[in-house]
Structure 1
Amino acid sequence: MEISTNQLLRFTTAGSVDDGKSTLIGRLLFDSKSIFEDQLASVTATSTKKGFDGVDLALFTDGLKDEREQGITIDVAYRYFTTPKRKFIIADTPGHIQYTRNMVTGASTANAAVILIDARNGVIEQTKRHAFIASLLNIPHLIVCINKMDLVDYQEEVFDKITHQFEEFSSKLLVKDVRFLPISALVGDNVVNTSENMTWFSGGTLLNVLETLHISSDINKIDARFPVQTVLRPQNEKFRDYRGYAGRVASGIYRVGDEVTVLPSGFNSKIESINSGEKGVQEAFAPMSISITLEDDIDISRGDMIVKKNNQPEPSQEFDVMLCWLNNDAAKPRAKYSILHTSNEERAMIKEVVYKIDINSYERKEGDSNLNMNDIARVKIRTTRRLMIDAYRDNRNTGSIILIDENTNETVAAGMII
């Protein structure tokens, strides 16, 4: 399978505290030679000061002072690196239960989730919690890394037992692709280089899996959705009568000549031209940023959506959402919030909390309508005007919303439309 050299893979790490997430990312960066010399010198000096024999790999990701002092990950740390085959963005997310919101934030755009399990402890509650959130966020690929294999003498039986434990509960989750790898992040077994200590495993290294993961089919190419961000009227010699509708293709494919419908007005037209920058193209697809011109002069503004005539989202003023509450202050009953959906901003309120989810046991808790920080709940939302929505499971871009407190302008919740 040939992989585009500029293809970008976003992945998130998840695992319990001290499972070695930051060390794993440090090892990936270190062994793939993606660390600058000044970074290496700084981390080496800090490692020596802390009494380490070698380099403390976790320091490459723990950027906050409190993280370095306490030896834990608090905020989402983003790291970038490139190999000849792919570009990568890593979101290193915290393992502590009080930072569930940080994991949801870091994982929301990921193609893959790397879940770490300590080989000595096996599957624990936090493993199940992280796998559940990955499933909830519709992350297409799960890579389960059974770490610290050096501390269990690299036994194949330990790897097989934990694999079976994970498969037992993950069968209830909606995850399409799950892979298992035995690794040691600290020593470097099966991270970038093949382990000589686990010759019984023939599944390749973590970097090899990340480089060859097939992600092209993860994007929805069927449902064409183009939320308009702005209207372009350049008013110069080259583009004297140009009226282009600019934005990013959320999903699907648009071609010159396609019959389209503008929502919410419902007017129909045909695509006259598509521009990517100043260059004209015949077709565009997610996640390209483009401008479209139409054959008819239709009143279109920010927040409108250009879709295919025979494939339209559902305009709705009331819908159910799986909501993760992000704010320190609890949700106020029937309070008004700003709701952001694609490029559209309206006002909304939480009509009802249908149930909350215990993310350790997956049980539904009905009758509890209090939404506090890190809570995940199914809620009914009503908006002032109809939004053009899809189910999150079908379309992550047009199926997600965020709520903003109108008084403080803080983002208070993120949601996946059911």
Structure 2
Amino acid sequence: MDDRSTVSEQEAATLLGELVSYDSQNPPGDEAACAEFIYRWLTDAGIDAELVADPYPDRPQVRATIGDGDTERDHLVLNGHIDVVPPGNLERWSVDPFEGVVDADEGRVYGRGASDMKAGVAAAMLAAREVAADGVDGRLTLTFAMGEETAEPGTKTLVENLEADAGIVLEPTELEVQTVGKGLAWYVATISGDAGHASKPHAGANAVDGLFALEESLRAYRERIAERTHPLVGESLCTPTVLEGGTKENVLAEEVEIRFDRRFLPDESPSEIDAEMDDLFEIVRERGFDVTVERTRTYEAAEIPIDATIAETVRDHASTVADAPTDPAGKSAATDQRNLVNDADIPTIIWGPGTPTQAHTADEWAETAYLVDAIEVLCRTIDDRCNA
């Protein structure tokens, strides 16, 4: 089969470099300039696009539609987020993280968000332009969201009330089809004691002692949930990641705060995990300390059958075009797949051209060969599902 796409590696790399050059860090949530660029680019390409003010007017999103919606053919949704995590310590970077450096010799584009996930956004934009030239019998919807990196309702807003047959969330997978994504919940627990002079430790209640009482309970809990496994995304996890507390070396700690990253499987519910995390601190309460436990952020897990039509279609084309793997796979990180699957009831895979190990790293890069192959695969998939 002849190539469906006419996009060159140079053109694809140039667009990705432009997207990276828009500093869309989140936090604080600076997606507006990048969203406006995408909107202008799509409009100039003759694609019906709009800037969406919901849920936050100062952080617009982009939605675009191609095709008349022939009910005999599919309505396919391509989704990507335009926010990126902060670059961190700039001394660890050999390039400006927001220059969008194109290295033609290496076949890479460097910069924050190159793999996660502006490569996926670029692939969707260029594939949409390619198929728009000939028209789409069914319908193709593009959704480019804010706030994914902080679990905000960007994608959820864009797909609300959207009736579609299938979706692709263009996260970095190096063209491997993934049908399940782990859930993520963040918790903060506060242990409260009574301040006092460290020369008389029994005169107060040192919140640090309460924290030490947690050790055995936490170890047992982590071992217990590790027995919960999924064949594609592995075990359930609970990882303490941040610890803060105390006032001064000679003052009994009045308060200690500990934060957790809790990765969970599709058959675990956030409400059940809430109860587990609260029970974890019962031993601390028994020692006389007050404890509060709060879930501060949630990405639900999501899953579709490994042989869902969209999964099989993209696997076949990715294998043909790029010799991509065809074994069933899942993603251990959380994505906006949950909004399409859980909120909009749209069978959706996680699939895209970025390299997953590059996400959130210094000197992040994306390979332009994967990007060009992704555009070709998307064009073939759109033809298969949306055209007669």
Question: TM-score by structure 2 length?
Answer: 0.25
Structure with greater proportional strand content: 1
Structure with greater proportional helix content: 2
Question: TM-score by structure 1 length?
Answer: 0.24
